[in-house]
Structure 1
Amino acid sequence: MSHSHVGGPTADVSVRIAWADDAQAIAAVQVRAWPELYAGVLPAEVLPSDVDAVSAQWRQVLARPADARNRVLVALERNRVVGFALTSPALDPDCDPVSDGELAEVTLDPAERAKGHGSRLLQAAVDTLAADRFTRAVTWVNAGDDGLRTFFTDAGWAADSAHRELDLDGTGTTTVKQVRLHTAIA
């Protein structure tokens, strides 16, 4: 299968497990992507804007994961981080943390969309969950995010009828409705 994209071949794109040194680059992607991801959901002032502060949090996550199966993947274009994904045991009360893995986030730099990074990241995340011996993957998407939902359903994920209202700031004033999608992992 050959994919030709404007700008040449895709041999310079890859996905790998993140290193502690990636913290700054991951933080920068998050700070750029979240205002767009959460537009109309979260007030701008609660979104992280300080890359250094966010970077420090990532450095800690990458250096000392709470569980060996908490993984951070980065999508690269040449050596530049253009997106990241998080995988872990699923912690929902109705999930089995041994067999159910969660894809907690797939975030792309807004400037790097529609280049195939998201699909590669999703595939790598599922491969990583499989390597960690999970047999099912779940992810939560904002109910109104048709683009993200379509991205997952096109990749073979389906709604599993679970839904929740997420309290984003702890006060109950900023909530977002989410639906859970799932897929079997071969």
Structure 2
Amino acid sequence: MRATRTAVLVASFILGCHAPRVGASDRGTIYDALIANEQTAILAIAAKETGLTAVLKGKDEYTLFAPTDAAFLKLDDDGIGAVARNEQVVQKLLRSHLVKGKYTTAALKKKAQAGESLTTIGDERLKIEERGDGLYVGGVKLEPDAADLGCSNGVIHLLGALRAVPK
């Protein structure tokens, strides 16, 4: 049942439907910021449907490398199908974009200079690289105008592409 609801919600967002937004000058928690940001509707619904809201609303600090709705729209038919039909795929996808601890752009640049990686809560390694055209995490460029979105329990960096759709 839950997987079916997830499929319907993700598919509806991919097809262009939009959920109501809450406006707030304070971003609140990571989850609150996802809900309030017009670019992350799909990710906010996916977090709710896969039960990760408790983590994103909690007191522990995290860094979320958040794929935008536009990133989801870039998926091919197989990728859209995998995300829309399989809750475990969605949960793996979310867990592969979330890191314990608060990493601002400045902290990420230091990690890149030191050749260090980050490990997601899904136990994946994310290589941090500073290239001529920007900062990359796990091979995907951070959106330069949408980095360091501070929250009460961490920080969000928007990504214009998905790192990969898990199988």
TM norm structure 2: 0.28
Q: Is the radius of gyration larger for structure 1 or structure 2?
A: 1
Answer 1 or 2: which has greater helix percent: 2
Tell which has more relative contact order, 1 or 2 (C-alpha 8 A, sep 6+): 2
